[in-house]
Amino acid sequence: MMSEDFSAGCGEGFVNPEQRSELSVREQMAQTYAQLVAQRGAYWWYAVREFVLERMRLHQGGKLYDAGCGVGLYTLAIAERFAAVEIFAVDFSPASLQQLRQQLDGSSVGTRVQLFCADITHFLPPAPVRWVLCTEVLQHLPTLQLRRQALERFYQALHPGGELWLLVARHRRWHRRRGIPKEIDERPHGGYFRMRFLPRELLQELRRAGFRRIRLYGAPVPPVRLGRRLPASLWRCALWLERLPVSAYLGEVLIAQAHKPC
């Protein structure tokens, strides 16, 4: 683990061997990551990130661990909007953290964000946190054991009563119909692993890690090629839909809110 020092190769020493290939991809894509995901369109970001930030009730203040923060698309939004939140932002990609560091250096919120270069399957923040936020990361952990290890770590990181907010890709019926596999492993070709979750398997793994009072939401976002054409103004409908229990069965993104018992 390393805080605030992203000198060359800081990830190599402790990244789990199953994700070495992903680490090099993340290093290469760090500079373009924000542009790449901006292609999802404004509607996607409102329907997903705004929904999560609204439901987390971050104005209450406290410590937050952003697990697999990447270049900080959530970290920055939270730090800028919620002055009472202190953030531990963690990623195993030094280049991604460097991007985030540069943005923080140019802003007034930098002092409330601590960056760590570490593997989320091992990392524990320096103090217990009120929230763990993990967006689009669990789906890249290539074995069940690593996914379980990460969830167990998240559980340990929280103080009693704390909340995990998890965002993953959802496996849908149309994926099955079109023969799109639940798991795609591009590591043998220099890429990375990615998978989609079923609501029931996510529930099962969260319960196994000790979480209770679990609620699943779904963001009604269509595949990116369609979603980027939707007007951002539709996001208000999306936020309304997402609050309904049925939303867990809508859209491409599955969001879980899970509590560590008091």
Ligand X SMILES: C[S@@+](CC[C@H](N)C(=O)[O-])C[C@H]1O[C@@H](n2cnc3c(N)ncnc32)[C@H](O)[C@@H]1O
Which residues are at the interface with ligand X (CB under 6 A)? Answer: 19, 22, 26, 68-70, 73-74, 91-93, 96, 119-121, 135-137, 140
Closest residue (Cβ) to ligand X? 70
Minimum distance between the CB of residue 262 and ligand X, rounded to whole angstroms? 28
Question: Based on CB atoms, which residue is closest to ligand X, 70 or 251?
Answer: 70
Residue with the two structure tokens 């000198």: 7
- Tell me how far apart the alpha carbons of residues 35 and 33 are, in angstroms, rounded to a whole number: 5
Question: Based on CB atoms, which residue is closest to ligand X, 136 or 242?
Answer: 136
Question: Based on CB atoms, which residue is closest to ligand X, 39 or 233?
Answer: 39
Q: What tokens does 166 get?
A: 């998890």
Minimum distance between the CB of residue 165 and ligand X, rounded to whole angstroms? 11
Minimum distance between the CB of residue 139 and ligand X, rounded to whole angstroms? 8
Question: Based on CB atoms, which residue is closest to ligand X, 149 or 247?
Answer: 149
Question: Based on CB atoms, which residue is closest to ligand X, 7 or 177?
Answer: 7
Minimum distance between the CB of residue 201 and ligand X, rounded to whole angstroms? 19
Q: What tokens does 248 get?
A: 């867990």
Minimum distance between the CB of residue 136 and ligand X, rounded to whole angstroms? 4
Question: Based on CB atoms, which residue is closest to ligand X, 41 or 70?
Answer: 70
Minimum distance between the CB of residue 199 and ligand X, rounded to whole angstroms? 20
Angle at which helices 94-105 and 73-81 cross, to 10°? 30
Closest CA relative to residue 208, chosen from 252, 144, 143: 144
DSSP, residue by residue, 5-72: ---TTTTTTTS-GGGHHHHHHHHHHTTTHHHHHHTT-HHHHIIIIIHHHHHTTGGG-EEEEEET-TTT
Q: What tokens does 97 get?
A: 């953290």
Question: Based on CB atoms, which residue is closest to ligand X, 154 or 211?
Answer: 154
Report the sign of the C-alpha dihedral through residues 21, 70, 36, 151, in that order.
Answer: positive
Minimum distance between the CB of residue 175 and ligand X, rounded to whole angstroms? 18
